[in-house]
Amino acid sequence: MHSDWQTFLITRHAIIANGRVTRFENSNNTPHTIQTSNFLADLSHFGLIRFSGDDAQSFLQSQLTCDIRDITTQHAQYGSYCNSSGRILTSFLLWQQEQDYLMQLPASLCAATQKRLSLYVLRAKVKLFDHSNSFVQLGISGSDAISMVAKLIAPSSHFEQLQVLNLGGITLLRLSAQRSILIVPVDQAPAIWDQFSQYAQPISTDYWDWLDIQSGIPVILPETQEKFIPQMVNLDAIGAVSFKKGCYPGQEIVARTQYLGKIKKRMYLAHIDTKHAVSAGDSLFSIDMDDQSCGNIINATVSPLGGYDVLAVIQCTSADSQTIHWESLQGPRLTLKSLPYSLPIQSS
């Protein structure tokens, strides 16, 4: 988090710990208001990597799971970066800005991802820059999110999912009809925050995490690096994997799983009724697997209604016919919920 931005947020009554806004002192949120109101969130827990140069597109095409040709200055795409075994090193959102590309990913993985990708540049005409401290990222959510953004900064635009709008130095990413991200230069961020806070209530970073979970969008963190191939976390269901592009690290294994094998684990949305902290990487258990884990938590955060809402990768046979427990067979049960999208049908 940029130091000037952190100072500003503190003047707006933010309580900050480990680079995240944990709450606002003047907030009186209830489960009802959290589910019905409009909100404004600081997204400093995400970093930004910029890719510049004549070969930026071809370089990214050779490294990432998504098809870079589908990404334009008007359209973003989810994707992932894998190791040679097809296991995900990071997940991200990628869009084009003029001739460059910007990758949004967890700040905790930004430096390591930039360093690893830099090793494969070789003679390609591409440069990587950490742009995390050049911008402030803000999340806008709620039933009036589109009209609010239209009223304040984009009056003539129409909505498309993963649409990108470049607005005189400010970038608008529309994730859904209820959520948008603003990428704002640091010096403009305080004015934008005060402008939007007239119509949306500032809220903790955890709430944005909860919205990602409800949307079924996995965020790979250090605790879950190299644990899953893309299909296990449903990246094939949200357009983050292309099976028609050329090679990239792990492509052979990802493609073989898609065409020759059966995906034995999938990501599920679930609720855990517990007061104990649930964390990324935690193990899950079911009777059919005896003492072996049947899956892991990917993302978890406190639910507005109590307990924890999670995204979890679970053995499909266990999810279909068994009760899933957190941390041990004696631990709290997972209540599985419907994802907001359909999973691809596997051929038998």
For the stretch 189-227, pLDDT in tens is: 999 999 999 999 999 999 999 999 999 999 999 999 999
User: What CATH number does residue 66 fall under?
Assistant: 3.30.70.1400
SS3 per residue for the chain: CCHHHHHHHHHCCEEEECCEEEEECCCCCCHHHHHHCCEEEECCCEEEEEEECCCHHHHHHCCECCCHHHCCCCECEEEEEECCCCCEEEEEEEEEECCEEEEEEEHHHHHHHHHHHHCCCCCCCCEEEECHHHEEEEEEECCCHHHHHHHHCCCCCCCCCCEEEEECCEEEEEEECCEEEEEEEHHHHHHHHHHHCCCCEEECHHHHHHHHHHCCCCCCCHHHCCCCCHHHHCHHHCCCCCCCCCCCCCHHHHHHHHHCCCCCEEEEEEEECCCCCCCCCCEEECHHHCCCCCEEEEEEEECCCCCEEEEEEEEHHHHHHCCCEECCCCCCEEEEECCCCCCCCCCC
CA distance 27 to 68: 41
Inside any domain, residue 85: yes
CA 346 to chain centroid: 25
> What's the Cα-to-Cα distance from 88 to each of 209, 243, 283, rounded to whole Å?
19, 16, 18
CATH number at residue 189: 3.30.70.1630
Domain limit, last residue, from 197, 214, 231? 214
Last residue of a domain, one of 61, 96, 124: 124
pLDDT tens by residue, 23-69: 998 776 655 455 558 999 999 999 999 999 999 999 999 999 999 99
Please report the pLDDT score of residue 33 as a whole number.
56
Q: Looking at the domain assignment, is residue 33 inside a domain?
A: yes
Both 206 and 142 in one domain: the answer is: yes
As given in the structure block, the two tokens for residue 286 are 């079911």
Among 170, 188, 214, where does a domain finish?
214
Mean pLDDT of 144-149: 83
How far apart (Å, rounded) are the C-alpha atoms in residues 138 and 189?
9
To the question of pTM greater than 0.75 for the whole model, the response is: yes
> Which residue range(s) make up the domain with 152?
3-41+133-214
Q: Measured between alpha carbons, how far is 214 from 232 in angstroms, rounded to an integer?
A: 17
Residue 283 confidence class, pLDDT cut points 50, 70, 90: very high
Answer whether 326's CB lies under 8 Å from 318's CB: no
Q: Is residue 111 located within the same domain as residue 147?
A: no
Domain count, the chain: 3
The pLDDT, as a whole number, for residue 85 is: 97
CATH number, domain of 226, equals 2.40.30.160
Contact 2, 133 (CB under 8 A): yes
Q: Do 138 and 253 sit in the same domain of this protein?
A: no
Which is more confidently placed, 271 or 122? 271
Residue 258: CB partners within 8 Å, gap ≥ 6? 231, 236, 243
* 202 in a structural domain: yes
Do 174 and 107 share a structural domain? no
169 belongs to a structural domain:
yes
Same domain, 195 and 310: no
pLDDT tens for residues 58-98?
A: 999 999 999 999 999 999 999 999 999 999 999 999 999 99
CA 136 to chain centre: 16
281: CB partners within 8 A, 6+ apart: 221, 223, 224, 227, 296, 297
Residues 117 and 97 in one domain: yes
Residue 107: closest CA among 20, 12, 8: 20
